[in-house]
Amino acid sequence: MMKIGIVSPYFLPHFGGVSTHVYQKYCFLKKLGFDTKIISPDFGKCQIIDEKDHIKLGKPIKIIYNGSLSHIALAFGAKEVLKNEAFDIIHIHEPYHPFCIPFISDENKKGYVSTFHVFKEEVEKTVILIGDLLMKSLKNRIKVFIAVSKAAASVIQKSIGIPEEKIRIIPNGIDYDFFNKAKPLEIFGKDEFKILFVGRLEPRKGVKHLIRAFRTVKKIIPKSKLIIVGKGLKTYYISFLTDEIEKDVLFLGEVGYYELPRIYKSADICVFPSTRGESFGIVLIEAMAAGKPVIAGNAEGYVETLQNGKYGIIVNPQDEDSLARAIVELYFKEDLRKELAEKGEKYAREFDWTKIVKKILETYKELI
């Protein structure tokens, strides 16, 4: 049985798409009997992973990256970890990140696999330049590059010069049953039309556009509520509230991993109005797995995930009137809500980790 090391610049208890992806992949690989360890910066104690399987190197510091509050850490001791653990496969997430680069070592003659999550359309130019220059010098050491979408694949082809034959497109996965079989919470009113956003509270996620659109929605649908789940600068977004909507916009902050599926289940529709910088759209898949129709911003990764609107409504979120109209349309067209929910629920099954892990293992086997 192969021994797998997963290197990631982000991990729990720092929540986010990459952290969740790494944790769930670890869980499913362990279920299949693979000796799997995660190597990450030290974000603090993680309660839901065996400590012996988690190697922590370096304390992270905060930076702004891709329009998000991100973290950076240096992996002092990477060489010793590689030597002591003797992994058969080293799977590196976000390989241009300074934490990950020391793990791409010539001394390791085993297989390197790398996954790119970030879609860098408007990332700070200095960060791109440094990361891409380093990757161009190290790319030959990585045997296979995994992109979570065609959008992400296009970026690594253009910016780093990775040949198409070395790229595999394998989307992010979810634990389908975890979201699909959750029970809704009782804390929200049953007769209210509940609109849910899940994501970090930062400019590119389009939350201010959603709040502004909700002003219009509230006039047409008096019994509506906007529920916002995510960590960030809440005080900034509160400034967009007005007296007419203030009591009907609920900021839940960052919620626990096990509470999130129940919150999805409690919603009537889910809205993710990202304006840019999305390589995939894991929240879209989570919402669909929970049986909810989705409205998404026209960020490239979201458009790809929804197959150009086949599985959800796509809008320009900066056109707040259009965003409001899409929400109102789903409220009044119950048949459309049901159709999108049923189609999305079936589609989301294709992203279950039982299927995604098999694709990843096929890639690993290419290298052994």
- Could you tell me which of 180, 146, 181, 150 has the C-alpha nearest to residue 349? 180
Q: Is omega for the bond preceding 261 within 30 degrees of 0, making it cis? A: no
Per residue in 234-282, pLDDT (tens digit) is: 778 887 888 889 999 999 998 988 899 999 999 999 999 999 989 899 9
* DSSP-assigned letters across all residues of 16-32: SHHHHHHHHHHHHHHHT
Which domains does the chain possess?
3-173+352-366 (3.40.50.2000), 177-349 (3.40.50.2000)
- How sure is the predictor about 308, in pLDDT bands with cuts at 50, 70 and 90? very high
Confidence (pTM)? 0.89
Nearest Cα neighbor of 142 from 100, 173, 98 is 100
Q: Distance (Å, rounded) from C-alpha 97 to C-alpha 240? A: 34
Q: Over range 316-337, report the average pLDDT.
A: 98
Each residue's pLDDT tens digit, 153-203: 988 888 778 889 999 999 999 999 999 999 999 878 788 999 999 998 989
Exposed e or buried b for every residue in 80-118, given b needs 16+ CB within 10 A?
ebbeeeebbbbbbbbbbbbbbbbbbbeebebbbbbbbbb
